[in-house]
Amino acid sequence: MTASEEDWNEQDSQDFIRYGEYFVPERAAQAAVIASAIPTPPPGALILDLCCGQGRLSAALLEAFPQAEVVGLDISTTMLETAGRELASFGDRFRTEHFDLAASAWRVRDPAPWAVVSSLAVHHLDGEGKQQLFRDVYAMLRPGGAFVLADLVEATGPLGHELARRMWDDAVREQSAEAGVPAAYEKFHELEWSHYHYPDPLDRPSPLGDQLNWLARTGFAHVDAYWMKAGHAVFGGVKQEGPTA
């Protein structure tokens, strides 16, 4: 499966660059948790940021790990150009690569990455697609490294659904008001951004419990959820050194 016209487009990229600060619950906190979930990278280690967008997570990782390099991959020209521009101060420690998350060619990497991360994008793959991605990331990782995801997750029942819907609304309303941009909350609804209000075939989040099980079944160790709020979670696991089960 590859990206189609019904998938993410350049207007979505423009909207996310303009409003991502307000639409994502505690975006900076999520990036800090991801950095904390990556075992200390050895000198020269490579980190892949899948669907890097304008590079906010990549920048946080480059700051947290001065010994590491980051490759930001994305399908959107707008995002790749913005990331290249905004992270230029990191010099050759950051570079971008055009890719389609759903394609397979990019999944064979040399050198092997120490960590693979992704924020708010893997939910574009269906359950089968996520499980294949988890297997491919496990195969490409250096032993000792980690796979850490921040993503929209699906509720498993009406209570979880209602809580996620309400808490996501509250988070966007608060973040918009705190920044003095209350119109961003109106835009959140005008753009029908919330999966919990406006389900869209482009969004195929899976329950967090399923994803933790898939990671463990793939072979990842120490699989855990590290943070969760308003239908968003940060979770992942480590590829252990030595023989695996």
Ligand X SMILES: C[S@@+](CC[C@H](N)C(=O)[O-])C[C@H]1O[C@@H](n2cnc3c(N)ncnc32)[C@H](O)[C@@H]1O
The DSSP secondary structure of 183-200, one letter per residue, reads: HHHHHHHHTT--TTTS--
| Interface pick for ligand X out of 46, 51, 116, 212 (rule CB under 6 A) | 51
CB of 186 to ligand X, least distance (A): 19
- With binding defined as CB under 6 A, does residue 121 bind ligand X? yes
From the list 14, 20, 33, 39, which residue makes contact with ligand X (rule: CB under 6 A)?
20
**Distance between CA 245 and CA 240 in Å, rounded?**
10
Angle CA 212–115–52, to nearest 5? 90
**Contact indicator for 114, 68 with CB cutoff of 8 Å:** yes
The rounded distance, in Å, linking the Cα atoms of 136 and 168 is 31
User: Rule CB under 6 A: which of 56-85 touch ligand X?
Assistant: 56-57, 74-76, 79
Q: Identify which range of 34-42, 53-61, 130-138, 172-180 contacts ligand X by CB under 6 A.
A: 53-61
**Are 181 and 19 in contact, with CB atoms under 8 Å apart?**
no
Distance, CA of 168 to CA of 171 (rounded, Å): 5
Q: Where are the alpha helices (DSSP H) in the chain?
A: 10-23, 27-36, 56-64, 77-86, 127-140, 158-178, 183-190, 208-218
| Residues contacting ligand X: total by CB under 6 A | 23
CB of 81 to ligand X, least distance (A): 12
Binding of residue 34 to ligand X (CB under 6 A): no
Stretch that binds ligand X, among 36-44, 46-54, 168-176, 224-232 (CB under 6 A): 46-54
Among 100, 169, 203, 224, binds ligand X (CB under 6 A): 100
Element (H, E) at 67: none
Q: Judged by CB under 6 A, which of 68, 87, 116, 119 binds ligand X?
A: 119
- Residue 152 as a binder of ligand X (CB under 6 A): the answer is no
Q: How far is the CB of 9 from ligand X (least distance, A)?
A: 9
The residues that touch ligand X, with contacts defined as CB under 6 A, are 3, 7-8, 13, 16, 20, 51-53, 56-57, 74-76, 79, 99-102, 119-121, 124
